[in-house]
Amino acid sequence: MDDEQGGGNSSAFAKETSRLWRAWKTVHEMVQDRGYELAEDEVKISLDRFKLEYVDDNGMPNRNKMQFSARPSESMIKKFTPPPTLSNPDPAPECGTIWVEFCAEKGSIGIGVMKKFVQHCAANNFKAGILVTAVPLSAQARKVISVTQQYTSIECFLEEDLLVNITHHQLVPKHILLSKEEKTALLKRYRLKETQLPRILQKDPIARYLGLKRGQVVKIIRTSETAGRYASYRLCV
């Protein structure tokens, strides 16, 4: 009986490990696609190496070990630094180091869990934080996120939403975030107000993947058999 139970646990642990490995890869690709610096061997980790680093001797994956930080690349810093003005000739970049953590809680994720995560990000001067959870957040926990947005950008993703990287799907076109200067130049070139641009919702899967904020504009590059490559633009709302 114990052998049967042990075999069942091993099978369940193996399945959970495989799922977590896929989510781990996707969140690394997401952070890299946003412009943060990560080594390729971190992003393209094999299942065997993942097991060695994040699975305990009993075969159970250990989410408490699954955490990492990443610094913004030079190109990301440039993109997120507002243009200088007379009142602010040397503007600071609006990005910084990001902290990513997999929550070990399998039950309800409430205020306590979120406050601990937010406090860790604030205490270590992380500009942004991503918490990956196995279960949805409570309504109270979501309120904690909205309160902290002024000083730390906090995002939460479900593990099941990261099992597949949506940007790898052949039907999803390339999305590129514009800098503030690029957005201004676009509106000037076409003599538009930003409200005249087509929209993309902040809760759209691609917008969430890129971490878009309201007011930001993405360039969407599509391919066409007749027109070749062409670009369109969307305002995040």
Half-sphere exposure of 124 (CA within 13 A, CB side): 16
* Predicted local confidence at residue 1, as pLDDT: 46
Parts of the chain belonging to CATH 3.40.1340.10 = 2-164
Parts of the chain belonging to CATH 3.90.940.20 = 167-236
pLDDT band at 149 (very low <50, low <70, confident <90, very high): confident
pLDDT in tens, 79-120: 999 888 899 999 999 999 999 999 998 888 889 999 999 999
pLDDT band at 142 (very low <50, low <70, confident <90, very high): confident
183 compared with 2, residue with greater pLDDT: 183
- The answer to whether the pTM exceeds 0.95 is no
pLDDT in tens, 157-211: 999 999 999 999 888 999 999 999 999 999 999 999 999 999 999 999 999 999 9
Q: The domain 167-236: what is its CATH number?
A: 3.90.940.20
Q: Does the domain made of 2-164 have the CATH classification 3.40.1340.10?
A: yes
* Predicted local confidence at residue 230, as pLDDT: 87
For residue 151, the one-letter residue type is Y
* Mean per-residue pLDDT over the chain, rounded: 91
Percent of the chain beyond pLDDT 90?
A: 76
Half-sphere exposure of 200 (CA within 13 A, CB side): 25
Sign of CA dihedral 137, 138, 139, 145: negative
* Predicted local confidence at residue 226, as pLDDT: 78
150 compared with 52, residue with greater pLDDT: 52
Model confidence at 5: pLDDT above 80 = no
* Predicted local confidence at residue 7, as pLDDT: 57
Model confidence at 225: pLDDT above 70 = yes
Enumerate the H helices of the chain as residue ranges. Answer: 2-33, 40-43, 47-54, 74-79, 111-123, 139-148, 180-190, 205-210
Tell me the average pLDDT across 47-70: 95
* Predicted local confidence at residue 8, as pLDDT: 62
Query: What values do phi and psi take at 152, rounded to 5?
Result: -140, 125
165 compared with 8, residue with greater pLDDT: 165
Tell me the average pLDDT across 28-44: 96
